[in-house]
Amino acid sequence: MSVPAPVSPRIAALDVARGLAILGTLATNIWIFSHQGGFPGYLVDPLAGTAGEVSRAVQSVLMAAANGKFLSLLMLLFGIGLAVQHASARRRGLAWPRSYRARAGVLLLDGLLNYLLIIEFDVLMGYALTGLVVAWLVTTSERAQRVVATACAVLHVAAIGALTAVLAVVPAGDPADALARPNPYADGTWWELVLLRTDAVVLFRAEPVLILGLGVAVFLAGRFLWRAGLFAPEGELWRRRLMVLGLGAALPVDLALNVLGGQAGAFLARYTTAPVVAAGLLALVAHLGVRAAGRRPTWAARRLTEVGRTALSCYLLQNLLASALFYGWGAGLAVAAAQYRVPVTVLGWLLVGAAVLLLAHLWLRRFPRGPLEELTARATGARRAPAMSAGAQDSAWPCRQ
């Protein structure tokens, strides 16, 4: 009688980090959903339509708290995922990166559908393409990977610095342009928004191209941190260093740039200091996870773990729910409740987040994977792997453990 090969259990802190990143991404994007002018209006003036100095100040702080951190946290987690999948492929004698291409292709398709049918600021397409590049890079020497990561980081910072200098001297956009009518986000149908995304694909897909170098560097950093034992007891020194650097040093600078630097400062922070803060945040989650090892997880940790185990499904679900809540084809709160934008946006985040937490919990009571995770597993052949318990089930996004 054959015995299935042992499968390493899921590391709970990774699922918690994924769940935190998903809800944190919503905390970033919710201000785009609630903008009367939609994504184009948000790009012109994120605060357009928010009345009152106090409300504008509160919104600036809330936006600063999330801006860019969770984009980079997901990048780090994808890098960890690649490290785990690469090691698994080598153990099982699978060709790499060929064995990863199907997973990246499915992720790219998920992102394309998310972009066309739900939101124009999708991140999955960029992660899929970056993952293909990094999947090849991990087959090279460690020295080559360090050189590439360093070069990508330097070139990225130089490009962002140059663009920030341009933004600093370009006159700020007219708030009236951000709220111009007719507005497909307020007045149009769902199909009209699909057509808008098709027509404006160059504008709406600019960010994944802009951050390709950052993605390569951060993916490789995530792989390095995983291999250095960030989530293991022996990684204590790395965790402390990253928490000091990310949360102690980079976070105050990041918040100052966001709140005091206007749109140019927020742009600079999103793509330079935010990745460092994200590394500190990941280290904090790993630190708490190591300390809690062997103890019953808290209620919050269990709920975040469930979102992390169904991360891809939850990501698309929260985008759909927020669209239906704020866009004109749904409840239309972006315009209907514009005079109360800050409290309505915060309440919207809480409601959508609560729905995601609840549905992830209910789903996992009956199924081992999220619905999109199951489809991904079927499409990539992961269901043919040795049987696993629910606690060790592989995750379609971003890594298998």
Q: Could you tell me the pLDDT band of residue 236, with boundaries at 50, 70 and 90?
A: very high
What sign for the dihedral angle of Cα 289, 292, 293, 295? negative
pTM for this model (two decimals): 0.90
CB 100 within 8 A of CB 79: no
Position 381 scores a pLDDT of: 73
Average pLDDT over residues 315-325: 97
Share of the chain above pLDDT 90, in %: 77
Residue 368 DSSP class: S
Tokens of 216: 């390569």
The predicted structure's pLDDT at residue 174: 67
* Integer Cα distance of 285 and 302 in angstroms: 14
Greatest C-alpha distance within the chain: 74
pLDDT of residue 173: 65
Residue carrying the six token digits 């052949």: 381
Look at the chain and count its residues.
401
Distance CA 190, CA 193 (A): 5
For the segment 5-30, the average pLDDT, to the nearest whole number, is 82
